């Protein structure tokens, strides 16, 4: 390995030469207590910044094993370190002058959620630490300004490293609090399983957000207060006694007038699949981490999904056991989203009436009398919600503002009034009983066939063999892989654009290495997750260096992304008596 003085000599040698000479600096250099690696050098001062990483031996970093040993505390520590490093780097960014992106010091900027990121990774056994960042190598025009880069690499960056990445200089009290919060959050997640709960919302939580463009807590917001009948007490390892609302498994209805906090509560539960930083207000809003927000998604692509549980007997004769379309309607898209979430292993549906297809959610008695049941191909969600729980163990939390029919199905009813919840289950049931029996004169519900998940995919082999497939993130809305754009704007539990980028690399890896026309989707996703858990997110990023802008998505979002990828083809589908041949012909043939 080269020494830092070797790098200094290179900088002196290439000073004032044309910009491509910066490529001579690529390599690893020992800087006292850490190693600086220049992984990729930008080709132009106006191009994407150079990629740099800092590597520190675990013994030198010195972080205690109780912070690095367990996954949840390790991720929390890495998150805290990257936030601190980012604050230090911001003070030095653009202090070195030049054209284009000269002087930039940029590192991942985490939001309110705590996510595993490529920007900072810690080895569980050794405690070895790596931080990845971007640096704009300075230039005057397109001429190297080595003196300014020397200022960055030999003065600014060492200050950032020493102040933020070593335990001896860290705010130990803060890091201990980070670790304890992570352990408390993990404890609540375990308690959800043991107590038969789908979610927990602690008293005093701040659920409203600052604005539509800010995810920080709203100032002077009404703090959450649990209805006495739903109160659960948690004895946390560090925070001690915490009281809050426990939402049991089953069907839970959230009702109330407009602007009273129904959707705010549901949004907090959506985000509760992730841990949140201290001061967010939702630190102890913890949801079953397999929960999936279900909504209508007009126009999405659907690939041979068995939606017959909800839609059957289409007028055009299209078989819904292997339904496919490039332009789904509200009802077919929501049906597919339910089935795909089941395939992804969810145990909780989160649904807001406002973002659902009305004809998918409910069909009232009068409409059933006017338009006869046999003429309606849709079996609404209300007719399956109990079956989903009793047969599949999948609970539902539903926000309803105008549809009272779900009162008959709900195990628990929560009313929001001015952001304060109250349980009204008994009152709602009594009021519902005053009306004619919901099941009276209704035709017998058609029995559902368990959805078939054995979809076998194959990639376009010509594209898969192209190692130069480009990945471009479009915020949280989409990711483009070569010419294939995967729309993700309605996958609402993606909370960071870095998750979207990570999904792009996973899809690329799967297309090149895993989809072969023999494995079904579950096998592919299981392999992806296993690879990443064992080797890190870098295992699916084939290149000379690991991007610094990746955050780990959940298994459910990996499924969602692959299901929306138009670049994949179905090789075989094992439906009831149906098969699609391996030549990808669209016609179905009876076996």
Instruction: Kindly give, in sequence order, each residue whose CB lies less than 8 Å from that of residue 473, ignoring residues fewer than 6 positions away.
Output: 479, 480, 497, 500, 501, 504, 549
Rounded Cα gap, residues 527 and 307, in angstroms = 26
User: How large is the average pLDDT for residues 44-60?
Assistant: 97
How many helices (H) and strands (E) would you count in the chain?
Answer: 17, 33
User: How large is the average pLDDT for residues 87-93?
Assistant: 95
Kindly compute the dihedral angle of the four CA atoms of residues 79, 81, 84, 89, in this order, to the nearest 10 degrees. Answer: -110
Q: pLDDT: is 40 or 452 the higher one?
A: 40
Q: What percent of the chain has pLDDT over 70?
A: 91
Q: Give the up-direction half-sphere exposure of residue 308: CA atoms within 13 A in the CB hemisphere.
A: 19
For residue 566, what pLDDT band results from cuts at 50, 70 and 90?
Answer: confident
pTM beyond 0.85: the answer is: yes
242 within 8 A of 202, measured Cβ to Cβ: yes
**pLDDT of 280 over the 80 cut:** yes
pLDDT single digits (tens) 432-483: 888 655 445 555 666 778 888 888 888 876 655 555 678 999 999 999 998 8
202 within 8 A of 284, measured Cβ to Cβ: yes
For residue 376, what pLDDT band results from cuts at 50, 70 and 90?
Answer: confident
Task: Look at residues 427, 426, 386 and name the one whose alpha carbon lies nearest to residue 406.
Answer: 386
Least confident residue range of 170-174, 361-365, 514-518 = 361-365
User: How large is the average pLDDT for residues 356-363?
Assistant: 92
| pLDDT at residue 375, rounded to an integer | 67
Mean pLDDT of the chain: 91
Task: Look at residues 395, 165, 179 and name the one whose alpha carbon lies nearest to residue 275.
Answer: 179
Max intra-chain CA distance, the chain: 89
| pLDDT at residue 458, rounded to an integer | 86
pLDDT single digits (tens) 236-262: 999 999 999 999 999 999 999 999 999
| pLDDT at residue 577, rounded to an integer | 39
| pLDDT at residue 468, rounded to an integer | 66
E strand segments, 430-585? 455-459, 471-474, 478-481, 484-487, 516-520, 568-573, 578-579
Give kind and range of the element (H or E) at residue 268.
Answer: helix 262-271
pLDDT single digits (tens) 299-327: 999 999 999 999 998 888 888 999 999 99
For residue 576, what pLDDT band results from cuts at 50, 70 and 90?
Answer: very low
Instruction: Kindly give, in sequence order, each residue whose CB lies less than 8 Å from that of residue 389, ignoring residues fewer than 6 positions away.
Output: 249, 250, 251, 395, 396
pLDDT single digits (tens) 322-338: 999 999 999 999 999 99
User: How large is the average pLDDT for residues 113-131?
Assistant: 96
Q: How many residues appear in the chain? A: 591
List the Cα angle 85/86/92 in 5-degree steps.
95
| pLDDT at residue 583, rounded to an integer | 31
User: How large is the average pLDDT for residues 77-97?
Assistant: 96
pLDDT single digits (tens) 193-252: 999 999 999 999 999 999 988 999 999 999 999 999 999 999 999 999 999 999 999 999
Rounded Cα gap, residues 526 and 209, in angstroms = 35
Least confident residue range of 188-197, 436-445, 532-541 = 436-445
**pLDDT of 572 over the 80 cut:** no
For residue 61, what pLDDT band results from cuts at 50, 70 and 90?
Answer: very high
User: How large is the average pLDDT for residues 151-166?
Assistant: 97
For residue 544, what pLDDT band results from cuts at 50, 70 and 90?
Answer: confident
| pLDDT at residue 445, rounded to an integer | 65
pLDDT single digits (tens) 501-515: 999 999 999 999 999
């Amino acid at each position: 390995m080269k020494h830092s003085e070797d790098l200094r000599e290179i900088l002196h040698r290439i000073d004032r030469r044309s910009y491509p000479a910066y490529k001579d600096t690529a390599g690893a250099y020992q800087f006292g207590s850490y190693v600086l690696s220049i992984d990729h050098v930008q080709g132009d001062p106006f191009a994407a910044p150079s990629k740099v990483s800092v590597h520190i031996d675990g013994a030198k970093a010195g972080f205690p094993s109780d912070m690095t040993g367990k996954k949840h505390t390790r991720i929390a520590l890495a998150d805290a370190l990257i936030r601190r490093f980012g604050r230090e780097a911001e003070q030095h960014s653009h202090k070195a002058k030049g054209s284009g992106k000269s002087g930039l010091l940029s590192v991942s900027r985490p939001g309110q959620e705590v996510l595993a990121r490529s920007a900072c990774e810690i080895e569980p056994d050794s405690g070895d630490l790596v931080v990845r960042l971007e640096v704009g190598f300075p230039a005057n025009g397109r001429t190297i300004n080595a003196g300014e880069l020397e200022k960055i690499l030999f003065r600014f960056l060492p200050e950032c490293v020493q102040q933020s990445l070593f335990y001896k200089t860290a705010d130990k009290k803060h890091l201990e609090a980070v670790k304890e919060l992570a352990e408390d959050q993990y404890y609540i997640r375990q308690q959800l399983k043991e107590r038969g709960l789908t979610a927990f919302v602690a008293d005093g939580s701040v659920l409203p957000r600052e604005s539509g463009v800010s995810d920080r807590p709203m100032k002077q917001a009404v703090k959450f207060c649990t209805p006495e009948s739903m109160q659960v007490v948690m004895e946390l390892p560090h925070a001690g006694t915490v009281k809050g609302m426990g939402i049991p498994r089953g069907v839970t209805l959230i009702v109330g007038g407009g602007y009273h906090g129904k959707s705010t509560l549901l949004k907090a539960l959506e985000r509760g699949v992730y841990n949140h930083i201290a001061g967010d207000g939702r630190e102890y809003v913890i949801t079953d981490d397999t929960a999936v927000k279900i909504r209508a998604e007009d126009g999405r692509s659907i690939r041979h999904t068995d939606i017959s549980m909800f839609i059957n007997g289409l007028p055009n004769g299209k078989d819904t056991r292997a339904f496919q379309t490039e332009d789904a309607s509200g009802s077919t898209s929501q049906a597919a989203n339910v089935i795909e979430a089941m395939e992804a292993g969810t145990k909780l549906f989160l649904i807001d009436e406002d973002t659902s297809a009305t004809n998918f959610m409910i069909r009232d008695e009068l409409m059933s009398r006017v338009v006869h049941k046999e003429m309606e191909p849709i079996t609404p969600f209300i007719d399956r919600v109990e079956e989903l729980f009793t047969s599949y163990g999948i609970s539902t939390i539903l926000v309803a503002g105008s549809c009272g029919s779900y009162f008959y199905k709900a195990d628990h009813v929560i009313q929001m009034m001015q952001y304060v919840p109250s349980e009204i289950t008994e009152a709602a049931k009594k009021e519902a009983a005053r009306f004619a029996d919901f099941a009276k004169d209704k035709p017998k519900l058609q029995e559902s066939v368990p959805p078939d998940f054995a979809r076998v995919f194959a990639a376009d082999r010509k594209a898969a063999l192209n190692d130069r497939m480009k990945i471009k993130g479009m915020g949280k809305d989409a990711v483009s892989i070569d010419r294939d754009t995967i729309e993700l704007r309605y996958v609402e539990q993606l909370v960071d654009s870095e998750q979207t980028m990570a999904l792009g690399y996973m899809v690329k890896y799967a297309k090149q290495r895993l989809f072969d026309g023999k494995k079904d989707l579950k096998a592919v996703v299981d392999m992806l997750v296993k690879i990443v858990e064992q080797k890190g997110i870098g295992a699916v990023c084939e290149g000379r260096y690991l991007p610094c802008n990746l955050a780990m998505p959940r298994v459910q979002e990996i499924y969602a992304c692959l299901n929306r990828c138009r670049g994949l083809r179905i090789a075989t589908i094992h439906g009831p008596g149906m098969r699609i041949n391996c030549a990808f012909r669209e016609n179905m043939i009876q076996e």
